[in-house]
Amino acid sequence: MTDIVLKTENLTKRYGGVHALEGANFELRKGEHVAIMGDNGAGKSTFVRQITAVEQRTNGQVWFDGKEVNFTGPIEAREAGIETVFQNLALADDLDVPSNLFLGREKVLFNLGPFSILDRKYMRKATEAALVRTAVKIPNLSNTIRHMSGGQRQCVAIARTATFASKLIIMDEPTAALGVQETAQVENIIRTLKDNGEPLILISHNMRQVFDLCDRIVVFRRGRIVANLRKENTDGQDIVSYITGAKTGEAELAA
Amino acid sequence: MSQTSHGVGGVSYDAKKRTWPAEFNVFLALVILVVIFELIGRIFLGDSFLFNTRSDVSGLFNEARLQIIILQVSIVGIIAIGVTQVIITGGIDLSSGSIVGATAMIAMSFAQVATVNGNPNPKAMFLAQGWTDLPVIVPLLVAVGCGLLAGLVNGALIAYTRIPPFIATLGMMVTARGIAKWWSKGQPISFPTDSFAAIGKGLMPVIIFLSLAVLFQLIMTYTRYGKHCYAIGSNEDAARMSGIKIANHKILVYVIAGILAALAAVVLSSKNLTAQAGMGVMYELDAIAMAVIGGVSLSGGRGSIVGTVIGSLIFGVIISGFTFLRLDAYYQEMVKGVIIVGAVVLDQWRQRMRALRA
């Protein structure tokens, strides 16, 4: 039980009569990278939104870092150590890289309420360290996000999760809007996270990416988890048949 | 970015990709404008715009003109400091001119003397109550209270009812003007105490304007408040997701803008030694124009107090320059309009160019 980072039991979300998520049982171990796949509307994002408390679940329990948790909002979840890279990047275009990394949790030199003096030197140093740790390359730290490419923005968003002692990183289709080269860069960062032993949940539609980066693949279909497979015991065709519903029933991990 | 390899990270600094601060361009525009006036003056009038040409006065520059350039924009400049913060946050404040009117009336009525030339002050509002010859701190606190209240209403409306800032502050603009007229039933309020009159005397408005500008430039650059202003202005959703308390912050921004408008009212009524209900009409638009000329983006997230100060100086140079060329005030207004639009067009164009280069 100690090496389980995240565990959900019977996690359920209904919007009125719509069952967006039904009885999801999910486990994530330390250092593990798990992919979540499924068709549009299969419940992937809904699942993540319950964990990060962007929405409140209808039913079920969540354990994180050894304790049962009931986050009331995404900020609480983040403070507990769940960092999310949102599909619609949560970056402020007109701020530079350190300001974005520390957005909403600036390091303060003197506390004067809202007029607290910022510790800009510390934040710059920490940013540089985070970029090194995640192998992110940004041409100029003082540049505003507005002047960066889509890939660089995504990298900043990911580096942000690594700045703080995060215990779990969730990425919602981080490369969906990126070109080939930029996708490769983001994938490299994810590999670096893997080397550092940071657990990750990756929502992706990209089969090659999932098999490249993840240890385990969980397939959602119509609000239910229909497959939970180790990468070694499956292949692309197998996964597709679960996604489309050609294969049904909950496929459990062999061993 | 081309040679990223797994496991190798780092940051580099590319000097070629460095861009001038936006304020530099505004400053350049100011210099060009001064040079144009200087050239026209030398060629057509045989006089200098900037330099001292009189033998009975020492000094390199025409100091009287330099003082006038900044003195005539100081009061609106104080308002513009607040308006700049509002615009950076992605809002707009149309109420500042009316807040000036209402605050001037209310504050001035607590700054009056009891007797004028041995007779009871004919304009005194609170003679019967004996609220005359009060220490200067009283009208100052009253003014700050007025600005705070107006800003609080503006901010709360915008933060909680989610109506557009344009509408909320338009409502305040009309209401505050009404209060200004109702306060003394349209009568001017005059004869302030000497200590109140000292606030706007001589170059005091300039000193107040520049001190406030320096203070808020530092606040915008070095404090959490400033950082959050830019964050909310550039991406409100991102700011919210990052845990910034948007509503509180917006209220604070409008309160600060209200208090700055109230301080402008104190300086203005002190300088004029009287308060009238019509004071500050159109000041809100002049303040917005100063900010926009100074490079503050109306879509939020970009700009600075320094830029606004330079923008206000451009205003001052235009007014002084036209007087220097002995042109009618009508032309000033026309040119001001052209410059406001030109500044925004230029800014948009510059942003596009930058985006193409990046």
Question: Does B11 reach chain A within 8 Å, measured CB to CB?
Answer: yes
Compute the Cα dihedral for A213, A215, A218, A219 and give only its sign: positive
CATH of the domain at B205: 1.10.3470
Q: What angle do the packed helices B63-88 and B246-272 form, to 10 degrees?
A: 160
Contact, A238 vs A229, CB < 8 A? yes
CA distance to A143, B25, B28, per residue, from B20 (Å):
11, 8, 11
Task: Tell if the CB–CB gap between B9 and A131 is shorter than 8 Å.
Answer: yes
Task: Tell me B67's DSSP state.
Answer: H
In a domain, A251, yes or no: no
Give me the pLDDT at residue A246, please: 84
Number of H helices, E strands in chain A: 8, 13
In a domain, A255, yes or no: no
**Using CB atoms, which residue from A104, A133, A148 is nearest to B243?**
A104
**How far from each other are the two terminal CA atoms of chain B, in whole angstroms?**
13
Which amino acid is it at B217?
Answer: Q
Does B52 lie at the interface with A, CB-CB under 8 angstroms? no
- At residue B19, the pLDDT reads 62
For residue A184, name the pLDDT band (cuts at 50, 70, 90): confident
pTM over 0.90: no
Residue A253 lies inside a defined structural domain of this protein: no
**Total domains, chain B:** 1
Instruction: Lowest mean pLDDT of A12-26, A165-179, B217-231, name the range.
Output: A165-179
**Domain containing B153: what range?**
24-39+62-357
A92 vs B1, B18, B235: nearest CB:
B235
Instruction: For residue B97, give the nearest of B83, B87, B86, B109 by alpha carbon.
Output: B83
d(CA B174, CA B99) in angstroms, rounded, equals 10
Please indicate whether, in this complex, the C-beta atoms of A94 and B242 are within 8 angstroms of each other.
Answer: no
A254 inside domain = no
Neighbouring C-alpha atoms within 13 Å toward the C-beta of B206: 11
What length is written for chain A? 255
pLDDT tens readout for residues A150-171:
778 888 888 887 777 678 999 9
Residue B126 lies in a domain: yes
Domain harbouring A150, CATH code:
3.40.50.300
The string of DSSP letters for A26-84 reads EEEETT-EEEEEE-TTSSHHHHHHHHTTSS--SEEEEEETTEE---SSHHHHHHHTEEE
Please count the residues of chain B. 358
Residues in chain A within 8 Å Cβ distance of B224: 106, 108, 114-116, 118
Identify which of B223, B238, B354 has the shortest CB distance to residue A118: B223
Measured CA to CA, the distance from residue B87 to residue B284 in angstroms comes to 12
Nearest to B207 by CA among B50, B15, B329, B75: B75
**Those residues with Cβ within 8 angstroms of residue B54's Cβ, 6 or more apart along the chain or in another chain:** none
Is it the case that residue A255 has pLDDT exceeding 50?
no
Q: At B185, is the secondary structure helix, strand, or coil?
A: coil
Token reading at A76: 């609480």
B175 inside domain: yes
Residue A110, in any domain of the structure: yes
Residue at A249 is within a domain? no
B235 compared with A54, residue with greater pLDDT: B235
Cα separations (Å) of B271 from B170, B201, B248? 27, 6, 35
CB proximity B4 to A under 8 Å: yes
Q: Name the residue in chain B with its Cα closest to that of A102.
A: B242
Contact A133 B9 (CB under 8 A): yes
Full domain range(s) for residue A94: 4-244
* Chain B residues within an 8 Å CB radius of A131: 9-11
Could you give the number of structural domains in chain A?
1
Mean pLDDT is lowest, of A36-45, B76-85, B136-145, for A36-45
> Does residue B7 register a pLDDT over 60?
no
Q: Which of B1, B236, B296 to mutate to test the interface with A (most CBs of A within 10 A)?
A: B1
B23 vs B221: CA distance, rounded Å: 14
**ipTM of predicted complex:** 0.79
Q: Which residues does chain A have within 8 Å of residue B242's beta carbon, measured at their own beta carbons?
A: 90, 103-105
Q: Do B235 and A93 touch (CB under 8 A)?
A: yes
